[in-house]
Structure 1
């Protein structure tokens, strides 16, 4: 068991949240289907994973709210997954959309493909959304919660596993 604990502590498994593709520590479901499933027998580890599960669920809820809010603000149908990813990345890390003659994109992600007027309508709507404190704060909250997952892993999960190692 100590070898598995050491492997976990040296290289904790990660998963990516859908849509935003944020890397987070593996939740219970992820652990169950990994080489670390034996660790679930350690009570302290399992209890700490419940916190990961709860925070992950909260983040996923916040992402759903962000998606709905952005979709409601769009004058025409867009690729909402790509818009949400792009919007979040621009708010949290910077950058901007690229306006083409028939596309609005961010990095390699196309938010809308259509005529230039449609592209500009969507772009203007996104620019307005970027000024909305509620949406910006939602992005900040998602980032804060995802960073909290790593803090929880580094403090509490590591402690639980180290305590288990020292008892064996």
Structure 2
């Protein structure tokens, strides 16, 4: 499909955008914490992707490249505003946190989900927004976009061990924040 896009087949570009628009938009929403900023990042990402699709190695996974472009655009914006924060370390929680993070994907509770679960998911979402970007981005990619550690490593341009450390630290930080609230 990528090769066809690179040859200018507009139908294939439309198919590509249709396939990845929702995951990309949700990723942008989680990064930006606001609809307007997410809309801008979403649009800028597609502009950058379409302008540079010729450079993409057709054998490289498109989704990884797409999220790399979005993450880099986001980081560039925040660097300019000097809001790119340092990584925080700590760890614990796993199973419970993973379940709560999975619940965050939906903005509203599922029909069988009770109010308490929804309130816990909302609180976890608020705590997630307090994390530095270095911790929050890997969490979003891992739990919401279901990328592997290796794929996150490629998206962020960091070693897989660093991804694991950041996920580990994020879980610990979230656990601490959730215990306080």
Q: Provide TM-score, normalisation by structure 1.
A: 0.31
Structure with a larger share of its residues in strand: 1
- Give the structure with higher Rg (CA): 1
Structure with a larger share of its residues in helix: 2
